[in-house]
Amino acid sequence: MLLRLENIEKWVGKEYILKKVSLKIERGDFVAIVGPSGSGKSSLLYIMGLLDKPTSGNIYYHNKVIDFSNKDWICKFRNETIGFVFQFHYLIPELNVLENVMAPQIKRGFSIKEAEDRSILLLERLGLKGKERRQIFEISGGEMQRVAIARALANDPEILLCDEPTGNLDSKNTHMVMEIFREINQRGTTIIMVTHDLNLAKGTKRIIEMLDGEIKTSFYLERVD
Ligand SMILES: Nc1ncnc2c1ncn2[C@@H]1O[C@H](COP(=O)(O)OP(=O)(O)OP(=O)(O)O)[C@@H](O)[C@H]1O
Ligand SMILES: [Mg+2]
């Protein structure tokens, strides 16, 4: 078992935005999380990405319970294991496109040359060849989103968590990103993707539907390909 959530609850001061969420994610899963705006999708993803601490309940990675008080361990684990694409990309404006993708690799211990070579390849794969040296404010919203995806893939994560990764993309780039996701999923990367787009959700292996902070339904799709 790669990831297990056990009775996760999140209290934000006036209400529970997550209520008794229990979930198992197997290695190789490709999951779409759908549900109306405000139903708790991003909140759940943050907790799965160890960016936020639940009010109660436990999270297990590799069958070991996560200790949220051990911040150093969590930072290292996230850098090595989890790729995260935020709903709003959060690229670093002081760094150019290439440097944004290199940053997590440098933290991981790759040399500058290695990080640069790997980043150039990733950016090319995401259709951003020639834009490596641009500043973040010199690229479009859809390009920023693709840089954020390249950054999340930079350390070859075991699990990729993405919040509306194609929200700013046109249909051609959405298709390209889904092809990349399918390919890395086939090679073993587990993917959890929040999306409003039911057509995209249908391209995954499993759909989890959230409503009012709870999981309403969870089912595996029959693959037709
Ligand atoms: N830190 C917080 N303090 C107070 N309320 C919060 C906080 N974070 C989230 N919420 C509330 O929790 C609910 C769930 O928010 P969340 O961002 O998880 O929704 P979502 O399903 O991702 O919605 P969307 O599809 O619009 O992105 C919302 O009602 C939101 O206003
Ligand atoms: Mg959200």
pLDDT of residue 107: 97
The residue to mutate among 42, 85, 192, having the most atoms of ligand 1 within 8 angstroms of its beta carbon, is 42
Residue 176 Cα to ligand 2 middle (Å)? 22
CA nearest ligand 1 atom 9, residue = 43
pLDDT of residue 223: 67
Q: What is the CATH number of domain 3-220?
A: 3.40.50.300
pLDDT of residue 225: 55
pLDDT in tens, 111-150: 999 999 999 999 999 999 999 999 999 999 999 999 999 9
pLDDT of residue 136: 96
Q: What is the pTM of this model?
A: 0.95
Residue 63 Cα to ligand 2 middle (Å)? 27
pLDDT of residue 23: 97
Q: Which atom of ligand 1 is least distant from the CA of 45?
A: 18
pLDDT of residue 224: 58
**Which tokens go with 129?**
């060849």
Residue 81 Cα to ligand 1 middle (Å)? 25
Residue 77 Cα to ligand 2 middle (Å)? 24
pLDDT of residue 42: 96
Any atom of ligand 1 within 6 Å of the Cβ of 167: no
pLDDT of residue 220: 95
CA nearest ligand 1 atom 17, residue = 42
Residue 192 Cα to ligand 1 middle (Å)? 18
CA nearest ligand 1 atom 5, residue = 12
Any atom of ligand 1 within 6 Å of the Cβ of 14: no
Q: Which residues of the chain register pLDDT less than 70?
A: 223-225
